[in-house]
């Protein structure tokens, strides 16, 4: 095959990042912000113009479309979903994004803001050295870039355009899905696997060139409700039982030098008390439990339970309720049952001339939720770095590689 070209990629990407699609953690609406629909509407129109079928925007702001296979009628091909999210992180503003292009990047520091204060330093991000000679795209220092996940959307759209213009390039049935509210953990709230109608999926939402992610944390939340006995403190001797003190006593016994987010990395899990509220009469403590193995969760929950039991014995007049809520599970549990999903992604990366890097995600993804809903969905790189930050950047060349990987991947699903 000749070198794949994706004309207009940069312009397409800029068109998307200039639309503010920041989602909102505090909103109960779906989508959490109406402005996300500005991009969803645009994508719907573009998919119709490109000639995709069954283009639909749901009332929740999900965009779905189908590109039919070009394989002979009698050949059985699966439907593969290509997934990206339209929203950007609530952490940093996405208003008036003004991307800066550094052609033939010299691998040096990049001054981002006009006052010179915000600098993308090679010393802080040594991976920049490997970008020498590429077309580097950064922010102007005032917003995030939105490569997370508008690079993924761009890469999917450019791959679709390529497949349409090159009808000799084999493709299965492709389902395109653009979701709202991924950044606030609600990207799969109003979609079902029946809506998607695919057998397997890929989110194009990773970072570094060549990375594939098939593992997420297993996650639970433990909630402790401590009820003490409230008495006027002036006359409380032998009667008052202070829930704040009991709560503090329990949290104090959690490990600090290990099993904490601030002291763990890679495959290590943790116990993270992230919420403590209430007063002398009642206290609520919420604790995030994370591990790559379900058994690791159980061990940590048991650890907390033992501390709670000891506190209950020490403060017999208090009541302590201990509840565990399941949040999500490691998608590897599902993906291991369908090894071809990852194998084909690895092969597609190699066909694009890349060295596949298998990565784990110390968090959850929409792909993890979709996998457990019945659509096995690992995550493929976009090429972006420093997501959710004013230091976010990407290169045009790595975006092209992501599109190329998608084209190869589609071909592999026809074999």
> Which residues are identified as catalytic?
87, 182
Decide whether 148 or 301 has the Cβ nearer to Zn ion. Answer: 148
Least distance to Zn ion from the beta carbon of 185, Å?
A: 11
Full DSSP string of 135-171: -EEE--SSS---HHHHHHHHHHHHHHHHHHH-TTS--
Decide whether 32 or 149 has the Cβ nearer to Zn ion. Answer: 149
Instruction: With beta carbons less than 8 A apart as the criterion, state whether 195 and 95 touch.
Output: no
Q: Per-residue x/- mask for Zn ion, residues 92 to 131, rule CB under 5 A? A: ----------------------------------------
Least distance to Zn ion from the beta carbon of 260, Å?
A: 25
To the nearest 10 degrees (0 to 180), the angle between helices 36-50 and 9-17 is 150
Residue at token pair 């994706």: 6
Angle ∠(257,261,264) on CA atoms, nearest 5: 60
From 37-45, 49-57, 58-66, 147-155, span contacting Zn ion (CB under 5 A): 147-155
Decide whether 46 or 205 has the Cβ nearer to Zn ion. Answer: 205
Q: Is residue 148 a contact point for Zn ion (CB under 5 A)?
A: yes
Least distance to Zn ion from the beta carbon of 223, Å?
A: 28
Decide whether 203 or 330 has the Cβ nearer to Zn ion. Answer: 203
User: Which among 67, 91, 54, 82 is positioned nearest to 179, based on CA atoms?
Assistant: 82
CA distances from 182 to 202, 291, 361 (A): 15, 21, 15
User: Which among 77, 56, 78, 76 is positioned nearest to 66, based on CA atoms?
Assistant: 56
State whether residue 365 is helix, strand or coil: coil
What is the four-CA torsion angle of 195, 197, 201, 207, rounded to 10 degrees? -30
Distance CA 293, CA 220 (A): 12
Q: For residues 48-77, which are near Zn ion according to CB under 5 A?
A: none
Instruction: With beta carbons less than 8 A apart as the criterion, state whether 79 and 197 touch.
Output: yes
From 93-101, 144-152, 215-223, 362-370, span contacting Zn ion (CB under 5 A): 144-152
Both tokens of 114, joined, read 């006009």
Both tokens of 351, joined, read 């066909």
Q: Is residue 207 a contact point for Zn ion (CB under 5 A)?
A: no
From 72-80, 124-132, 205-213, 273-281, span contacting Zn ion (CB under 5 A): 205-213
* Residue 154: CB atoms within 10 Å: 29
Q: Is the peptide bond before 31 cis (omega within 30 degrees of 0)?
A: yes
Size, binding site for Zn ion by CB under 5 A: 3
Least distance to Zn ion from the beta carbon of 149, Å?
A: 4
Decide whether 36 or 69 has the Cβ nearer to Zn ion. Answer: 36
Least distance to Zn ion from the beta carbon of 262, Å?
A: 24
From 8-16, 103-111, 198-206, 242-250, span contacting Zn ion (CB under 5 A): 198-206
Decide whether 184 or 218 has the Cβ nearer to Zn ion. Answer: 184
Q: Is residue 149 a contact point for Zn ion (CB under 5 A)?
A: yes
Residue at token pair 């959710």: 388
Instruction: With beta carbons less than 8 A apart as the criterion, state whether 338 and 259 touch.
Output: no
From 107-115, 149-157, 269-277, 357-365, span contacting Zn ion (CB under 5 A): 149-157
Distance CA 116, CA 112 (A): 7
Q: For residues 352-391, which are near Zn ion according to CB under 5 A?
A: none
Decide whether 151 or 349 has the Cβ nearer to Zn ion. Answer: 151
Q: What is the largest CA-CA distance in the chain?
A: 87
Instruction: With beta carbons less than 8 A apart as the criterion, state whether 290 and 218 touch.
Output: yes
Q: Per-residue x/- mask for Zn ion, residues 250 to 289, rule CB under 5 A? A: ----------------------------------------
Least distance to Zn ion from the beta carbon of 16, Å?
A: 13
Least distance to Zn ion from the beta carbon of 85, Å?
A: 6
From 142-150, 281-289, 306-314, 338-346, span contacting Zn ion (CB under 5 A): 142-150
Least distance to Zn ion from the beta carbon of 89, Å?
A: 8
List of residues contacting Zn ion (CB under 5 A): 148-149, 205
């Amino acid at each position: 095959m000749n070198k794949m070209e994706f004309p207009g990629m940069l312009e397409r990407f800029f068109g998307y990042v200039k639309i503010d699609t920041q989602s909102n953690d505090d909103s109960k609406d779906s989508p959490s912000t109406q402005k996300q629909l500005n991009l969803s509407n645009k994508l719907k129109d573009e998919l119709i113009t490109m000639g995709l079928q069954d283009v639909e925007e749901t009332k929740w702001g999900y965009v779905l479309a189908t590109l039919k296979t070009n394989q002979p009628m009698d050949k059985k091909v699966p439907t593969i979903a290509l997934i990206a999210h339209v929203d950007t992180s609530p952490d940093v503003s996405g208003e008036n994004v003004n991307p800066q292009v550094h052609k033939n990047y010299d691998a040096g520091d990049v001054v981002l803001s006009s006052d010179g204060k915000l600098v993308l330093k090679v010393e802080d991000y040594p991976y920049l050295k490997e970008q020498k000679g590429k077309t580097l795209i950064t922010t102007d220092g005032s917003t995030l870039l939105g490569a997370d996940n508008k690079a993924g959307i761009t890469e999917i759209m450019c791959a679709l355009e390529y497949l349409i213009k090159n009808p000799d390039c084999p493709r299965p049935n492709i389902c395109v899905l653009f979701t709202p509210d991924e950044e606030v953990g609600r990207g799969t709230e109003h979609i079902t696997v029946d809506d998607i109608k695919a057998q397997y999926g890929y989110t194009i939402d990773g970072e570094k060139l060549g990375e594939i992610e098939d593992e997420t944390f297993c996650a639970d939340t433990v909630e402790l409700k401590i009820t003490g006995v409230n008495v006027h403190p002036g006359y409380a001797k032998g009667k008052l039982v202070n829930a704040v003190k009991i709560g503090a006593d329990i949290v104090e016994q959690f490990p600090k030098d290990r099993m904490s987010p601030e002291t763990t990395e890679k495959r290590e899990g943790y116990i993270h008390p992230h919420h403590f509220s209430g007063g002398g009469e009642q206290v609520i403590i919420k604790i995030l439990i994370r591990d790559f193995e379900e058994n690791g969760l159980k061990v940590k929950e048991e650890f907390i339970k033992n501390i709670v039991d000891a506190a209950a014995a020490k403060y017999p007049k208090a009541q302590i309720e201990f509840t565990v809520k399941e949040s999500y599970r490691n998608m590897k549990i599902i993906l291991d049952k369908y090894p071809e999903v990852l194998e084909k992604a690895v092969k597609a990366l190699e066909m694009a001339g890349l060295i596949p890097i298998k990565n784990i995600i110390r968090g959850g993804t929409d792909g993890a939720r979709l996998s457990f809903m019945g659509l096995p969905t690992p995550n493929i790189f976009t090429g972006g770095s420093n997501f959710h930050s004013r230091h976010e950047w990407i290169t045009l060349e790595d975006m092209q590689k992501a599109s190329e990987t998608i084209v190869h991947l589609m071909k592999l699903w026809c074999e």
